[in-house]
A and B are shown apart, each in its own frame.
Chain A
Amino acid sequence: MAEIAAPVHNWDKDPILEVQHLFMRFGGLIAVNDLSFKVGRGDITALIGPNGAGKTTVFNCITGFYKPSEGRLVLGHGRAPTEEELATVTLNGERALVGSNSGVYLLERMPDYKVSGEAKVARTFQNIRLFTGMTVLENLMVAQHNVLMSASGYSLKGLFGLPSWNSAQKQATERAKYWLDKVGLTERADDPAGDLPYGAQRRLEIARAMCSGPILLCLDEPAAGLNPRESLELNELLRAVRAEHGTSILLIEHDMSVVMEISDHVVVLDYGTKISDGTPEAVKHDPRVIAAYLGVDEDAVEDVEAVLDEATGTQS
């Protein structure tokens, strides 16, 4: 039945990130429990779930801020890695296997700054983390640190102001200007980031993440605190990011107008386990999701569970 009905999804065909059997335990608390899902290349994937479901923990595992207790996080540059490549890199204990136009990165083995610097996974934070005392432009320059650092000859070329450094700096400024224009902050380029209104700070954080040249952009509640108009603008921005730069996007979001509007793929988490995974349409009508979000009467729990079992039974 599955062969006839189920269309082959992009995230199965060409995943950029594969989360496999991810566990995260804090002492006795299991924050993430055997979570597996795939993020399609070029997709906008939403990770949703009620408060405390473990979404941000998953993000922190992916971006290297937490070391997962168990599990494998496979990021494929260029194309999805083959079984052999994956087996090789897993067994030889390396962090990554980089070919000429493809690469496999095991994110769980990488420290946080390498996840961003080498594996090219950028992230934003739930509570915005800008360099508030630096100007908007400076924020975007810091994001291009690694490129600029080698261009400045680890400061030696830069100290003497060699032309190669100057041109690299100019190029970085152009890139920053491009993103400033994209998020509509060109006018405020020379203002301190801490002076911007909330919505602009959110956009700046996305621009900053994009300046680091990511292939996967992880956004932790990008629409939190935005008004409906700003949410719409955010949708446009994220679509543009994907369309013009081919950057895949993984986002945590509570704002369903954003999630249902722009995402190609929705993964639903509750108490650290995946309860649903599919297109927005499919997830919206999943009884498990409805139960998790809206809750059910205590008397009805068993009935619902029976229905759910039946539902999942027919699906698989």
Chain B
Amino acid sequence: MAVDTAHSAGAVAGSGSSILPGALKDAFLTGLIALGLLGPLVGFETVVIDGALGLAYRPLVVAIMVGIIFAGRLILNLTVWSPNRPPKAQAGPGPIARGVVAISPAFKPALFAFAIGFPLLAAAMTGGLSESRYLIDLGILILTYVMLGWGLNIVVGLAGLLDLGYVAFYAVGAYTYALLATSEPVNAFFASFLGETFWANWAFWFCLPAAGMFAGLWGMILGFPVLRLRGDYLAIVTLAFGEIIRLVLINWVDFTGGGAGIASIPRATFFGIPFTAGEDGFAALFGLEFNPMHRIVFLYFVILALALITAFTTVRLRRLPVGRAWEALREDEIACRSLGLNTTNVKLSAFATGAMFGGFAGCFFAVRAGFVSPESFTFDISAMILAIVVLGGMGSQIGVAVAAAVMMGGMEMLRNLGFLKQVFGDSFDPSLYRMLLFGFAMVAIMIWKPRGLVSSRDPTIYLKEKKAVSGSLVKEGHG
């Protein structure tokens, strides 16, 4: 069987018979090695026979596996690794890159329209608003990470400062809202002249800017000690900072509620109108039938708006002196100082701006979940956000958005690998392979697109013609 495959592969490749003996020999050797390895590993299986341990033999499985390896190697030898194959022309961007360039003008509006229409689309697809909850929740999750990615992109992508503790600002934002919204004195203060329910209804809208400001302040506080650190050292200290915030949240029980977290945080309201079934609820006021999904859809649009504000602000900031200074800092810090740029201010502004958007996202997280605990702010989140930024292409807005959608959406999709059960049998649990597949995907992307999905840089100003700067010239920054 294997030999048949080899012959047909040779015919398809049409690469002449001169390389066939060599390819066969190589494939045979590979098959031999595979046999040696797989024989003991796969060929024997321990089974329990009448309560005692016994051996079962699986020669057929071994034969199939070795056959696949032999045939695969042979096909590769005759096609991809064939010495007769013309060398690949390395001029210009690859087909994928060209495709991205070609669709990019239409891509952004299309993505934007999709994001706006997504709840409707989800409801239509699943056949009802209530049934679309899973999809819309997923949309909210993706958009949260898009926003976090865009926020961290300012620090890592633009300013070139490797920040492994970004989750700290997410946590600061979340706890700012959680603590202020559940605070008795604040509630009593507003209740005294604006009514009992005022603070519960308006807390989110008041706390959102506060959360951003606090997180920005913490960004500065983190920024000061790490001003003189570069590269790996900066990464380690920011990593530690993220952990410190989490440990403080766990251990300062009086203030933060410790590991138990803070529950029953006021939910989001439609600018003061709660999403309740009652008389003065959102549904009653707008003459709709009450549906808990109204709140979810509203949350979706809130995070979409927040993410768009982040994107818009970043795009504008890039074209301002402060944004150019961030990028110049990433390119060459010493040259920056020789041109009169106060690099301390440049770094702090990058940390603070990035942290501020993290704080907004944190505030949103708290209002969506209605519950915060330190467990939500582990290093995993920082790593995930950083992976999104790196994968998307440092400094690129659209790349980061796509990477967030792929990462978070992909992670969710990998939960639904049920079809693999049909291939590998019922005892196979596909969700266990989620992280493995995910890791493979990341490695693959880093091999083919080492500078991320969008590796070229958009200039911020031009005289005649806007030309993208090739990723190979753009530096990653050293902290």
B34 interface residue, CB < 8 Å from A? Answer: no
The 8 Å CB contact of B465, one of A158, A161, A190, A192, is A190
Complex Cα gap A154–B322 (Å): 8
The 8 Å CB contact of B459, one of A116, A134, A154, A212, is A134
Binds B, one of A139-147, A229-237, A270-278, A308-316: A139-147
**Closest-CB distance, B266 to chain A (whole angstroms):** 31
Binds A, one of B281-289, B330-338, B369-377: B330-338
Q: Are A129 and B335 in contact (CB under 8 A)?
A: yes
A279 interface residue, CB < 8 Å from B? Answer: no
Q: Which of B435-479 contact A (CB under 8 A)?
A: 457, 459-467, 469-470, 473-475
Complex Cα gap A190–B331 (Å): 17
Complex Cα gap A273–B460 (Å): 47
Q: Which of A111-150 contact B (CB under 8 A)?
A: 112-114, 116-118, 122-123, 125, 129-135, 137-138, 141-146, 148-149
B117 interface residue, CB < 8 Å from A? Answer: no
A159 interface residue, CB < 8 Å from B? Answer: yes
Q: Which chain A positions have C-beta within 8 A of B324? A: 134, 138, 141-142, 145
The size class of the interface chain B forms with chain A is: 35 or more
Chain A: residues with Cβ within 8 Å of the partner, total of 46
**Closest-CB distance, A113 to chain B (whole angstroms):** 5
Given known pairs A142-B336, A145-B321, A149-B321, the reply for A133 and B475 (CB within 8 Å) is yes
Q: Which of A240-279 contact B (CB under 8 A)?
A: none
Complex Cα gap A78–B339 (Å): 21
**Closest-CB distance, A250 to chain B (whole angstroms):** 14
- Chain A minimum-CB-distance residue to B320: A158
Complex Cα gap A142–B331 (Å): 12
**Closest-CB distance, B469 to chain A (whole angstroms):** 4
The 8 Å CB contact of A192, one of B327, B340, B473, is B473
Q: Which chain B positions have C-beta within 8 A of A144? A: 321
Q: Are B463 and A130 in contact (CB under 8 A)?
A: no
**Closest-CB distance, A135 to chain B (whole angstroms):** 5
Q: Are B339 and A133 in contact (CB under 8 A)?
A: no
Q: Are B338 and A129 in contact (CB under 8 A)?
A: yes
Q: Which chain B positions have C-beta within 8 A of A152? A: 320-322
A208 interface residue, CB < 8 Å from B? Answer: yes
Complex Cα gap A270–B135 (Å): 74
B25 interface residue, CB < 8 Å from A? Answer: no
A155 interface residue, CB < 8 Å from B? Answer: yes
**Closest-CB distance, B321 to chain A (whole angstroms):** 4
B342 interface residue, CB < 8 Å from A? Answer: yes
Q: Which chain B positions have C-beta within 8 A of A122? A: 338-339
Given known pairs A134-B459, A190-B463, the reply for A113 and B331 (CB within 8 Å) is no
- Chain A minimum-CB-distance residue to B342: A113
Complex Cα gap A134–B339 (Å): 15
B316 interface residue, CB < 8 Å from A? Answer: yes
The 8 Å CB contact of A190, one of B325, B466, B474, is B466
The 8 Å CB contact of A149, one of B322, B332, B460, is B322
A189 interface residue, CB < 8 Å from B? Answer: yes
Q: Which chain B positions have C-beta within 8 A of A194? A: 473
Q: Which chain B positions have C-beta within 8 A of A118? A: 340
Q: Are A142 and B465 in contact (CB under 8 A)?
A: no
* Chain B 157-194 near chain A by CB (<8 Å), digits 1 or 0: 00000000000000000000000000000000000000
* Chain B 305-338 near chain A by CB (<8 Å), digits 1 or 0: 0000000010011011110110110111011111
Q: Are A116 and B338 in contact (CB under 8 A)?
A: yes
**Closest-CB distance, B426 to chain A (whole angstroms):** 53
Complex Cα gap A309–B402 (Å): 75
- Chain B minimum-CB-distance residue to A132: B473
**Closest-CB distance, B196 to chain A (whole angstroms):** 38
Q: Are A145 and B331 in contact (CB under 8 A)?
A: no
- Chain A minimum-CB-distance residue to B466: A190
Q: Are B463 and A189 in contact (CB under 8 A)?
A: yes
**Closest-CB distance, B341 to chain A (whole angstroms):** 5
* Chain B 416-445 near chain A by CB (<8 Å), digits 1 or 0: 000000000000000000000000000000
- Which of B457, B459, B465, B475 gathers the greatest number of chain A CB atoms within 10 Å? B459
**Closest-CB distance, B352 to chain A (whole angstroms):** 12
Given known pairs A130-B335, A137-B463, A190-B464, the reply for A158 and B321 (CB within 8 Å) is yes
A177 interface residue, CB < 8 Å from B? Answer: yes
**Closest-CB distance, A176 to chain B (whole angstroms):** 9
Q: Are A131 and B331 in contact (CB under 8 A)?
A: yes
**Closest-CB distance, A166 to chain B (whole angstroms):** 11
B343 interface residue, CB < 8 Å from A? Answer: yes
Q: Are B462 and A113 in contact (CB under 8 A)?
A: no
Q: Are B332 and A131 in contact (CB under 8 A)?
A: yes
Given known pairs A134-B328, A135-B462, the reply for A158 and B316 (CB within 8 Å) is yes
Q: Are B461 and A138 in contact (CB under 8 A)?
A: yes
Q: Are B332 and A130 in contact (CB under 8 A)?
A: yes
The 8 Å CB contact of B317, one of A123, A159, A186, A190, is A159
**Closest-CB distance, A174 to chain B (whole angstroms):** 11
Q: Are B469 and A192 in contact (CB under 8 A)?
A: yes
Q: Are B316 and A159 in contact (CB under 8 A)?
A: yes
Q: Which of A43-65 contact B (CB under 8 A)?
A: 63, 65
Complex Cα gap A114–B337 (Å): 8
Q: Which chain B positions have C-beta within 8 A of A65? A: 334, 337-338
Complex Cα gap A125–B321 (Å): 23
Complex Cα gap A114–B316 (Å): 27
Complex Cα gap A138–B463 (Å): 10
A195 interface residue, CB < 8 Å from B? Answer: yes
A34 interface residue, CB < 8 Å from B? Answer: no
A191 interface residue, CB < 8 Å from B? Answer: yes
Q: Are A113 and B473 in contact (CB under 8 A)?
A: no
- Chain B minimum-CB-distance residue to A168: B321
Q: Which chain B positions have C-beta within 8 A of A148? A: 320-321
Q: Are B459 and A135 in contact (CB under 8 A)?
A: yes
Q: Which chain A positions have C-beta within 8 A of B460? A: 138, 141
Q: Are B340 and A145 in contact (CB under 8 A)?
A: yes
Given known pairs A113-B337, A116-B338, A145-B325, the reply for A195 and B473 (CB within 8 Å) is yes
Q: Which of B329-361 contact A (CB under 8 A)?
A: 330-332, 334-343
Q: Which chain A positions have C-beta within 8 A of B330? A: 133
Complex Cα gap A116–B342 (Å): 10
Q: Are A133 and B335 in contact (CB under 8 A)?
A: no
Complex Cα gap A186–B465 (Å): 12
- Chain A minimum-CB-distance residue to B459: A135
A125-B335, A133-B473 known, 8 other contacts, Cβ within 8 Å: A113-B340, A135-B467, A138-B460, A142-B341, A146-B340, A192-B473, A194-B473, A212-B339
14 of the cross-chain contacts (CB-CB < 8 Å) are A65-B338, A113-B336, A113-B340, A116-B339, A125-B334, A133-B330, A133-B457, A134-B328, A135-B462, A138-B324, A154-B322, A186-B463, A190-B462, A190-B464
Give residues in A with beta carbon < 8 Å to B: 63, 65, 112-114, 116-118, 122-123, 125, 129-135, 137-138, 141-146, 148-149, 152, 154-155, 158-159, 161, 173, 177, 186, 189-192, 194-195, 208-209, 212
